Structure 1
């Protein structure tokens, strides 16, 4: 930690309770090894020396306590404390005739409370000179500059300056590394946020693609098939062609409503299944039979499930029937909706030409699997060439009253 860069003058400096542990130990050492020995040494001295020393030590103690306990107070400038410390060290040395020990023990204060290395060196250098001169003047009426105290003070100053500069350099390197790590962390957070944004956009695109495939695309495919059938049977079967044109109109209107809902804020018309899910599926199956002429056998139990499960069953039925219409060339479709103690099964089979499930790469089957997986369900597709197709959608059900918002 850089002792010379403690933010003692910053208004945002933490309270005394947040003072580093090293500073607290330095305070203990300073009191025990710096202030206490002079106080004991003058306890038997004459009144003037004794009380003057006690007064100077008291000034030092209260000054240090003020700046250490209230570092955020702008009135308590660390530079003022260092000036008081410098003068007090010299005064104690003059009164006692020596002050090398107190000066050396006080050296960390210059590095803790100075604004930088230059200020620490200047204050501690001034204190060293003043203490040495005061020690010499106080001991002998004809002072000698080169004394043992002077040598200890000079040595202490040199060693303290070296240690302080070393700690300052190490602290600067630590701060640089911390700054680099902070910048790297910020960059990583920004990259993570961007990745989340891209993932969210991809998920939304996939959701929209699935909704478009399950609604608009299926509707347009139905319109195309019905239009081709109506055109070919317009002369031979006008009644049938009229029914097909009516279905085209109805499907087109539904697609228009779906498109408006997808680009607006309201849920799609098919996004909220009203009434019994079995009744909704039966209407879809009846319309499929009417549009295609394929026989439909439905056994749909009355199932009580949440809205998301209803929508999933609806989409799976629509996708399965669309595949039958486009690919199966089937003559019969069987739909069975079966409730269970913990879920519901929807099974749709046809007697069409079947396909190789392992080689299938259709978007519709993948969309059904993902839709069911999001609700904790699964899709099982069984088919082989010439043997028809079986689609089994298994979904867990949610108790009524605990439905999730769509």
Structure 2
């Protein structure tokens, strides 16, 4: 930090200036020990100058304590020779508080202040409160300044970390919103393709196959063109189904519907204060992709509503394969609600309301029912017919008699 470097250089200049002041005053005053004062001042300055050049001083508390001990010993030697050495105690306070631990720095400052007061008293020949005020006040100011600066620095670091976390969170939220939008659009496209293009091509193929069988013998030449048209419809139908499969939700890409529902329960239990359990009843039957997508989305919506609104502690998800239909039940032990007082759909709620679930079920020829009583939990049941998987139209083509 530029501010920290500036303060460090100011401290260096203060030490050099005070040492120079002690040496100059000894020479100007004609002190008989002036040469000795100059020598001790040079030693003290040299020891002090070596410290910042050693990389271990800032990395190791022990190395810093050793260096400060040598500096303190040289300072005590200067203090014995001249009273002007007392002023060097002030920068020593800052060094001790900065390089040592909080407790160790306070102890070192206390010892330094007592040594300065004792030496100054010895040079004055008598003790008075005025002698103690200078070193003690300097020590108090140093403690207040250093501890205040450290508190501000810690607060600044906390704010910096908080800003970084907020920035990361905003980026994650933007990515999540983008992903949600992409998934919603993929789902919409898959539903539109299945409900329009794929169904239309399937109907065209069936009708052309029926027309091929119904063409009388004299017009058999037209059969060739009918066969070509039916083949083109079949190829485009296969391509549409591949596109629908590619737009399948990620939860169903590498797992079955049962696996996706079980993972939904596991994730819900891990992320929210609710226990979600999955149960599979019957022998799983292959479903068409739109059916699997619809049941998964209904389960996700129902579980999300349970977590957000039901105040429940347990949720049960049952996937039942029952002969000619598949049934999805979501039960909870929450507060329930009055079915006659349902809130209006909220367009900002992402379309996860009961109306959206019911629309999904009805679009595939199924039903969705809700049973709930205030204080007794809620049961949601989605039932879809078990159609044959894609690719079996040939077995279901109508017989057309000639």
TM-score normalised to structure 1 length: 0.48
The two structures have a TM-score, normalised by structure 2, of: 0.49
Q: Would you tell me which structure has more helix in proportion to its own residues?
A: 2
